[in-house]
Amino acid sequence: MVAFGEHLKANIAQEYGADAYLDYQGLDNIIQELSRTAPSGPDLQNRMVSLTTPPQTDARGLAVDNNSATEEQFLSKMDFELAKVEKFTLQKVSELRTKIDDTEKAIGTEEKEKLEARADEISNDFLLLEKYVNINFMGFHKILKKHDKNLPSYPCKAFYVSRMHAQAWVRGDYSDLVVHLSHIYSSLRDDQVAEENNDQQSFLRQTTKYWVKTEDVSRVKYYVLRHLPVFLQKTSTGESDSQFTNSVYLDNDQLELYHGRLEKAPGAIALRLRWYGNGDPKQVFVERKTHNDKWTGEVSVKERFVVDESEVYQVLTNTYPIEKKKAEMLAKGKSQKECDEWEQLVREVTQVCVSKQLVPTVRTQCMRTAFQIPFDATVRISLDTNLCMISERGYDLNDMKTWHRNPEWILQPNEITRFPHAVLEIKLELKGGNMTAPKWVSDLQNSGLIYECHKYSKYCHGCAVLLPEDVRSVPYWVDDISLRDSIIASGGGRILMDPAESNPPGANAIYDHLLPFGDANNDRSGTAVGRTHVSAAASKGITKDKATVNNIPTGFDMYDPNAGNIMDTDEEEGCCSWVFPFCSRYNNYAEAIVAPTSFQKIEPKVYFANERTYLHWLHYGVILSSIAAGILSFSDDSGESWGQWYALALLPVSLGFCLYALHIFLWRQDQIKNRIPARWDDPMGPILLGSTVAVILIINFCTQVYEIAKIDFAEDL
């Protein structure tokens, strides 16, 4: 394992210079000197000192040398390095803001290509600065851990880590840069706001969810905003690219809705109360999501209506004045059809709340960044960061008047779980049967920056982790190795797979290939490649698929799985868990190892088609064997007939067809189950079958012609 200091040197940006970075080696030298001189610990009992008494001997019983290193030197240097990194970071952020202001002022006066190049340069500079922050952040963690390990008498990691998290270079939110860059790119693209259209049209909405590692969040944001603007809600202050989002999910004591959503039962619903912004809710969205399988011809539906916070109690107790509200809507000019649909939805929601005895169960919180051209839903992307789930059980509901926790209440560790990744959701509205996503979306999906988690649900994850004793089954992704620590910290360890078991029980033993970063038995987190790399390796033996992603600025270069894990095995927690797998900033346009993360679409009929193909192959094998049996039965008993040899040769050929059909069936079944993005057809099978049958017929024809010719020749003689 290469030392951290060597990797720090290798990743120093030339623009910044080594002096701008943490002096890791200098701090390490002080630690080594302190370890060698073995200073004694302080006398914690004696509260008096004498200015004329020499210092006490060190841990070896030797006199202390005044020229030797002291703990104070290490602490002073730590303070200096922290201040240096903070000052440099704030200086660079200020320079970036100045560049953005200059670029915004130049819109309309300079050429589009020059402005786009300036915007790309700003994006690259920000990503380079983020990498600088992450490297230094990890360096401080490493050196503090090394200090406490070598000098246990002087522990200081906890103090300095808390202090570091309070400093502006770690705690600061510079997402306003994203907003301004979004405006610049939107102006350069000349985005046109689509007209608001409430008419129902025939379209197919395709939704896919991905996990994004913390250090890749900014790169994903900058890549997306090159194609879509940041969509700010009306309640947003405009100073940030994200908005605080709360969702309280309703369920009963049996977690009926949870299990329905987890099992993806047809017609399974989820009910939630959502509001935006900090503080107490004022306007609440009551949302219902209904699941339907696509292969049935129906689509999942999301419906919602708005109520005031004071009216939530009426919705939960089925006392909401529907008729009165409907009359008010008609008086405001709403159409009769809209009002009737609204009435039906509200009645169904209020009735199900009472009939199923639904109560607040789990709340999800996150900072949501949305990317979309207003009123144009062709491509919508949302990115949820700082995601956590909070239990809404264990407090007095006051007859449903209290429907969410008081924010002033202190949460216990088993009442909150923090999700370690950001969640990216891509929604495509593909009209007219067009199933082709825009190329830039496909490039993002195949970039290695995002990891698909099939059918991921925040609500299901929160219920499984926070209510482990109430759930009968858990989602497959809880066994992902990257979630293990957060689940255990929240007291949900009982739902985890036991690493000691060689054969994990349940569905996860079959669907562990869907885990983005591997499970405890197959830990792929070392290289953080996860399922993406495994999928490529499983596809026809292909382990690497080089692709060049076009139209990506230099700073967006993709993740390189071949970079390997150059961190120590005892990696520290923090704002960056994978620092160095970044490709060089100076690479040309992101030629990297790309492994597809978009999986094949699976429907039940695919399995049936595989079975039918297998039965067709068996049918032809049986036909060949029947032909062979018929030839044997009608051939001479002398044993010298050509027909007997022909039939005996034909029988193993027919058996070979049956075995080959079984092999193809099992191979294709594995391809379908693993959703491997490769060809599932068998291009050689039909050729082999046709060629074999043709050869058999040709041999039989030639043999018969030879026999007839031989008989005619004998008669002529």
The span from the CA of 596 to the CA of 530, in Å, is 12
149 vs 122: CA distance, rounded Å: 41
The count of C-alpha atoms lying within 13 angstroms of the C-alpha of 128, restricted to the half-sphere facing its C-beta, is 23
Residue 163: closest CA among 88, 240, 91, 75: 75
Residue 84 has pLDDT above 90, yes or no: yes
For helices 256-263 and 458-466, give the axis angle rounded to 10 degrees.
130
Q: Are 429 and 377 in contact (CB under 8 A)?
A: yes
**What pLDDT score does 530 carry?**
47
- Which residues neighbour 205 within 8 Å (Cβ) at sequence distance 6 or greater? 299, 427, 428, 429, 430
DSSP 210: E
**pLDDT attached to residue 201:** 36
> Mapped to the 3 state alphabet, what secondary structure does 517-532 carry?
CCCCCCCCCCCCCCHH
CA distances from 219 to 242, 555, 565 (A): 15, 8, 20
677 and 596 Cβ atoms separated by less than 8 Å: yes
Q: Name the packing angle between helices 71-106 and 112-150 (round to 10°).
A: 170
pLDDT value for 61: 59
pLDDT level of residue 425 (50, 70, 90 thresholds): very high
User: For residues 277 and 246, what is the distance between their CA atoms, to the nearest angstrom?
Assistant: 8
Contact assessment for residue 509 and residue 515, using Cβ atoms and an 8 Å cutoff = no
Cβ proximity of 224 and 178 under 8 Å = no
pLDDT in tens, 144-170: 999 999 888 888 999 999 999 888 888
Q: How confident is the model at residue 137 (pLDDT cuts 50, 70, 90)?
A: very high
pLDDT in tens, 531-550: 444 344 433 333 333 333 34
Beta pairing partners, 306: 285
Residue 592 has pLDDT above 70, yes or no: no
User: What single DSSP character describes residue 454?
Assistant: T
Q: Hey, what's the torsion of the CAs at 199, 203, 208, 212, to 10 degrees?
A: -50
- What integer pLDDT is reported at residue 60 of this predicted model? 60
**270 residue type, one letter:** A
Q: Which two tokens stand for residue 630?
A: 């018929």
| Mean pLDDT comparison of 155-159, 193-197, 236-240, 299-303, highest-scoring range | 155-159
654-668 pLDDT tens trace? 888 888 888 888 888
pLDDT of 64 reads 59
593-625: pLDDT as tens digits: 333 344 455 666 777 888 888 888 888 888 888
Copy the structure tokens of residue 357. Answer: 């005895």
Tokens for 337?
A: 């059809």
100 confidence band (pLDDT: 50, 70, 90): very high
**Which tens digits make up the pLDDT trace of 430-448?**
665 555 778 888 889 888 8
Instruction: Answer for the pair 309, 330: CB distance below 8 angstroms, yes or no.
Output: no
Q: What do you get for the CA distance between the two ends of the chain, in Å?
A: 90
- The 8-class DSSP code of residue 584 comes to P
Cα–Cα distance for residue pair 610/602, rounded to 1 Å: 12
Q: Strands, DSSP E only, in 213-268?
A: 243-251
